[in-house]
């Protein structure tokens, strides 16, 4: 199979997402200001002018992406909408990603994978090539799901790393005389996924949501076991009148102990994981370096 044909198929498969990425730039501040000034200048509305003032993504790519999203929903199993929304929420991409955008990406990458698989099969119709092409098409179709899952896993790990230090800071603030909400407000001004989620929780409380319910929403948005355990313990302590500083101190020490235990578990697993790389890659090279000169000398003396 020619390498030129493979490169051509890859270019065809990647043309659609690259074109969308290049043309879907957001409108500039000048365009926003111009549209706002022109919208209030007169009573008459020129639909053609308003349509021309929109960006290329709003005029061309948005309807096309909507159609791809509809096609993606049709070929996706029932119930995948809620799962995809949960993955977007866990990944922390609710501001930039929507369910329709995810379905559109799945449809685009699935179409590109189908075209690439068809080209590869027609170029070399063997059994191995057919299986390889189908695997490539499936991987391209599930590429948005894999991306969201990796982002969600990375975000959950960062929340686990920040949780113990965050609880220590909240404990110090509460023991200094601040209320729990004010202590969380000071932490919410920091950087990272956990301060962002705490700030969103405070916004829910300010909008009238009960604090226990807002904290339960926090567990749904993060899905971190340590954070869930802390929130359940905090709600129980608040319900039965246990001092907040005491429960914060106890939960912080427990979370640090769990983090230390996870680190020790990873350290214990490391020798087992190193067995196969050592046997496959290091021992053959070491055997060649150590026994190679002896084998060469024995061969010279024998013959």
User: 46: helix, coil or strand?
Assistant: coil
Task: Give the per-residue pLDDT at 42.
Answer: 46
Which two tokens mark 272?
């087992």
Say if residue 207 is exposed, middle or buried (CB neighbours under 10 Å; 0-12, 13-18, 19+).
Answer: exposed
State the distance between the two ends of the chain, measured CA to CA, in whole angstroms.
Answer: 46
- Within the chain, how many helices (H) and strands (E) appear? 15, 0
Using CA atoms, how far apart are residues 292 and 197, in angstroms rounded to an integer?
60
Using CA atoms, how far apart are residues 75 and 72, in angstroms rounded to an integer?
5
Task: Give the per-residue pLDDT at 137.
Answer: 85
Using CA atoms, how far apart are residues 261 and 225, in angstroms rounded to an integer?
15
pTM given for the model = 0.68
Runs of H (alpha helix) within 40-79: 47-53, 56, 62-75
Task: Note the residue count of the chain.
Answer: 303
| Class of 157-258 in CATH | mainly alpha
How crowded is the C-beta side of 100, counted as CA atoms within 13 Å?
8
Q: Which helix (H) or strand (E) holds 288?
A: helix 283-302
* Ramachandran quadrant class, 167 (left: phi over 0; alpha: psi -120 to 50; beta: rest): alpha
Closest by CA to 5, choosing from 138, 112, 116, 109, is 116
Using CA atoms, how far apart are residues 182 and 187, in angstroms rounded to an integer?
9
Domains of the chain by residue range: 3-26+63-141, 157-258
Using CA atoms, how far apart are residues 275 and 301, in angstroms rounded to an integer?
37
Low-confidence ranges of the chain (pLDDT < 50): 22-23, 25-28, 41-45
Task: Give the per-residue pLDDT at 60.
Answer: 59
Residue for token digits 């290049």?
A: 22
Which two tokens mark 176?
């200094």
For 93-129, write each residue's pLDDT tens digit: 887 887 777 877 887 888 888 888 888 888 888 888 8
């Amino acid at each position: 199979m020619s390498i030129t044909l493979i490169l051509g198929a890859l270019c065809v498969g990647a043309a659609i997402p690259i074109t969308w990425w290049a043309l879907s730039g957001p409108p500039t501040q000048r365009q926003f200001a111009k549209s706002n000034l022109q919208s209030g200048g007169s009573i008459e509305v020129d639909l053609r002018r308003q349509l021309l003032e929109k960006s290329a993504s709003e005029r061309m790519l948005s309807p096309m992406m909507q159609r791809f999203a509809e096609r993606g929903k049709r070929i996706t199993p029932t119930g995948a909408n809620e799962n995809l929304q949960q993955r977007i929420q866990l990944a922390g991409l609710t501001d930039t990603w929507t369910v329709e955008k995810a379905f559109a990406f799945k449809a685009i990458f699935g179409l590109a994978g189908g075209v690439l698989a068809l080209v590869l099969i027609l170029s070399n119709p063997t059994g191995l090539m057919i299986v390889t092409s189908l695997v490539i098409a499936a991987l391209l179709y599930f590429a948005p799901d894999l991306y969201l899952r990796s982002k969600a896993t990375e975000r959950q790990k960062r929340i686990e790393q920040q949780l113990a230090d965050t609880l220590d800071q909240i404990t110090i603030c509460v023991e200094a005389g601040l209320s729990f909400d004010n202590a969380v407000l000071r932490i919410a001004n920091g950087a990272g996924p956990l301060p962002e989620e705490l700030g969103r929780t405070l916004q829910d409380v300010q909008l009238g949501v009960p604090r226990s319910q807002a904290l339960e929403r926090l567990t749904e948005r993060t899905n971190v076991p340590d954070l869930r355990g802390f929130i359940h313990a905090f709600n129980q302590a608040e319900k039965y009148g246990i001092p907040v500083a005491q429960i914060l101190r106890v939960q912080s020490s427990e979370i640090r102990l769990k983090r230390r235990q996870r680190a020790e578990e990873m350290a214990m697993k490391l020798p087992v994981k190193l067995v196969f790389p050592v046997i496959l890659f290091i021992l053959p090279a070491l055997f060649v370096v150590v026994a190679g000169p002896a084998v060469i000398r024995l061969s010279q003396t024998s013959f």
